[in-house]
Amino acid sequence: MRRVPTIKRVSSFLEIVISTTLLVVGIFTLQEGIASKSTGAVAVLILGAVLITLAATSLIHAIRSLLWHRYMLQVSKPGAATSEWDE
């Protein structure tokens, strides 16, 4: 029986969790920046925007990586990719 490496899937899952956490923190930071009327509100808004952008970019990359990994595992099975087209 062949063993399938799962290190990439774990890192992608961890990336998804961290990206989602950053996205939530970014949303709350933007909310605090909008509600605050102090002089540092602009810096908080910029920080929130940066966090949301970083989280969205990282989340998209992690999901694409996870989907690519699943596709490659499916293609690597003997006969799985060509069985639809051989009929």
What digits encode the pLDDT tens for the residues 50-78?
999 999 998 888 888 888 877 877 777 76
Containing structural domain, residue 53: 9-75
Instruction: Identify which of 50, 12, 11 has the alpha carbon closest to the alpha carbon of residue 30.
Output: 50
**Residue 2 within a domain:** no
**Residue 1 within a domain:** no
**Residue 84 within a domain:** no
**Residue 69 within a domain:** yes
Contact by Cβ (8 Å): 29, 48: yes
Q: How many domains does the chain have?
A: 1
pLDDT, residue 56, reads: 92
